[in-house]
Chains A and B, each alone.
Chain A
Amino acid sequence: ELKVEQNPLFLSMQEGKNYTIYCNYSTTSDRLYWYRQDPGKSLESLFVLLSNGAVKQEGRLMASLDTKARLSTLHITAAVHDLSATYFCAVDLLGNQFYFGTGTSLTVIP
């Protein structure tokens, strides 16, 4: 069974600071997805990473994928309060189903 681990599980950071969320997975896959979830809401797609070395950026968020290390990172630059949410990574195995990480709850403090 594919296992997907994120760390940290909880992250409290000050506005303006940088930080990285890590997503490790246990089985070879070259498809990795990042989602955002606001409290009580559904999931919103952020990034789709489809090959080794893929890097995607949107605003203050940048995601990357290293398939050899089975690692994806979500880097936050100069955090702002609006980025407070829970972030999930998900790995696609064989195109059938996604395996989700445990989530990282991010709180940005003014």
Chain B
Amino acid sequence: DGGITQSPKYLFRKEGQNVTLSCEQNLNHDAMYWYRQDPGQGLRLIYYSQIVNDFQKGDIAEGYSVSREKKESFPLTVTSAQKNPTAFYLCASRRRTGTYTDTQYFGPGTRLTVL
């Protein structure tokens, strides 16, 4: 089955702790994205990557870090510098074509709560 997996589904973080959210895709997509969703709100872009070993900041990158060492993996680290990390985190991927017409496909999400 082709798709995007995220783990864990639920994550609890203590104050001052770094945590890493996993995102893996087997769709052979070039581009991958991380979004944050707060209750009752839309999606805000944290980071995105269009090719391996390259990534760009989105609108709310402060307090987050990413890596893209493999095409199929795009982990997100929520650092202690992120003051209000409680949210629903969604990973997405997209086939990168010459005309960029494909939609984004989303993983099931990770719900992060700060204790």
Contacts and interface: CB of A to CB of B under 8 A. Distances in A.
A33 B104 CA distance: 9
B90 interface: yes
Given A42-B90, A88-B42, A98 B101 contact: no
Contacts of A105: 40
Interface stretch (B12-20, B72-80, B106-114): B106-114
A83 B58 CA distance: 31
- Looking at B103, B104, B106, the one whose CB has the most chain A CB atoms below 10 A away is B103
Contacts of A45: 103-105
Contact of A33 (B40, B42, B48, B103): B103
Given A42-B90, A42-B108, A97 B45 contact: yes
A43 interface: yes
Contacts of B100: 31, 92, 95
Contacts of A50: 101
- Looking at B43, B56, B105, the one whose CB has the most chain A CB atoms below 10 A away is B43
B42 A100 contact: yes
Given A48-B103, A100-B42, A43 B48 contact: no
Given A45-B104, A100-B35, A100-B42, 19 more contacts: A31-B100, A33-B103, A35-B106, A41-B109, A42-B90, A42-B106, A42-B107, A42-B109, A43-B92, A44-B106, A50-B101, A88-B42, A95-B99, A96-B50, A96-B56, A97-B45, A98-B104, A103-B41, A103-B42
Interface of B: 33, 35, 40-45, 48, 50, 56, 58, 90, 92, 99-109
